[in-house]
Homo-oligomer: A and B are copies of this chain.
Amino acid sequence: MSKGDVTRDRIVSEAAPIFNQRGYRGCSIQDVMKATGLQKGGIYRHFSSKEELAAEAFQYSWRKVLEVRSIGGPVEGGAIAALLDRVHQFVRVPSPVVGGCPLMNTAVDADDTNPLLRSLATHAIQEWRARLVGIVEQGIVEGEIRAEVQASRIANAIIAMLEGALMISRLEGTKQAVLDAETTLTAMILSLAPTKLIDGPLRRRKAKTKPSLPNRADVRAAK
């Protein structure tokens, strides 16, 4: 790694928390100069624009989140356990970059004003969702999750609830909202299992009045 690369990486890692805390417009090159101890020219030698630096800063922050919150970790012990673990990690492990979740910050910051940052945040959401969808679909294939579960809806629910709860928790300065989200999501995830008792007895109850209906066990066996 050249000395130039080292400096470039240092600028990105030191700019990342400033962009994350203050947003694109709220973070000036002066702020980055102050944090890095570099002159303006020393920064723009490595980046063609503030936009490019902000984009790299976001990607740096997001990679950190992926690492420490195990969003992209291996799926072990089955799909339900993996989903519960993802939620648990998100709730228990604080954001590795000062200023809260870089995805939410960038999403809210960039939605109206910055197409490059917006597309990076969109990509990050899609990446996160794809990983969750993959776990749910694996669970369906392995019979651990009901076949009719819509994987993308579950993934969106998990991401939305965690991000929204994080917003509340940060605002209020208490973990209550994210702990509440964990409880609610745990119930939702557990209810994805085919052994969820509501289905069996519900069908049986129907079967009592309409004996021609197939019960759930039949439907499953037929698949």
Contact A109–B23 (Cβ < 8 Å): yes
Contact A112–B99 (Cβ < 8 Å): yes
Contact B184–A188 (Cβ < 8 Å): yes
- Residues of B with C-beta under 8 A to A113: 21-22, 26
**Overall SS of chain A's interface:** helix
Min CB distance, A182 to chain B, in Å? Answer: 10
Q: Could you tell me which residues of chain A, from 101 to 124, have a CB within 8 Å of some CB in chain B?
A: 104-105, 107-109, 111-113, 118, 121-122
Given A112-B22, A113-B21: A160 touches B177 (CB 8 Å cut-off):
yes
Name the contact of A108 in the complex, choosing from B108, B172, B181, B197 (C-beta under 8 A). B108
Name the contact of A107 in the complex, choosing from B122, B171, B201 (C-beta under 8 A). B171
Contact B171–A122 (Cβ < 8 Å): yes
- Map CB proximity to B onto A162-203 as digits: 1 under 8 Å, 0 otherwise: 111101101110001100110110001000000011101110
Contact A164–B171 (Cβ < 8 Å): no
- Residues of B with C-beta under 8 A to A109: 23, 108-109
- Residues of B with C-beta under 8 A to A112: 21-22, 99-100
Query: Within the oligomer, what is the number of copies of this chain?
Result: 2
Tell me the bound Cα distance from A157 to B25 in angstroms. 31
- Residues of B with C-beta under 8 A to A159: 164, 168
Tell me the bound Cα distance from A168 to B122 in angstroms. 8
Tell me the bound Cα distance from A122 to B183 in angstroms. 22
Contact A108–B25 (Cβ < 8 Å): no
Interface centre among A21, A24, A100, A156 (most CB of B within 10 A): A156
Tell me the bound Cα distance from A92 to B20 in angstroms. 31
Min CB distance, A127 to chain B, in Å? Answer: 13
- Residues of B with C-beta under 8 A to A105: 108
Q: Which 6 A-B pairs have the closest CB atoms?
A: A201-B201, A164-B164, A160-B164, A25-B26, A160-B165, A163-B164
Chain A residues in the interface with B (C-beta under 8 A): 21-26, 99-100, 104-105, 107-109, 111-113, 118, 121-122, 125, 152-153, 156-157, 159-165, 167-168, 170-172, 176-177, 180-181, 183-184, 188, 196-198, 200-202, 204-205
